[in-house]
Amino acid sequence: MNKTQLLEAYLSIWNNRSMNAGTNDENGDQLTQLIMKELLDKLTHPRLRVVPETKFYQAVKRIINTDLSQIEKLELIHEFVKIMEELKKPEAN
């Protein structure tokens, strides 16, 4: 599954998220940016934001409960795990 397909799968779950689609590399970067925004709760008012761990749990639960194929679910969860690990690195804070 390529990054464009993964971005499309992500956007099908999070209905109000959108970005301009470009090349595959840009789509990969867009997906990373969207997931990072999701985990950091950037689309919520600062006083109402929750910690990335809570957003990660909510995202995984949301992905599991979709009608996406098992491959799409696993790939999306893998992307969330990869970005969550980056956020948890000491130098990322």
CA distances, 63 to each of 13, 28, 48, 89 (Å): 7, 18, 23, 24
CA distances, 67 to each of 25, 43, 70, 74 (Å): 26, 25, 9, 13
Higher pLDDT, 20 or 40: 40
What percent of the chain lies above the pLDDT cut of 70?
84
Give me the number of domains the chain comprises.
1
- What is the pTM for the complete model shown? 0.83
Domain housing 46 = 3-92
Exposed/middle/buried for 93, CB within 10 Å: 0-12, 13-18, 19+? exposed
Residue 30: alpha-carbon gap to chain centroid = 10
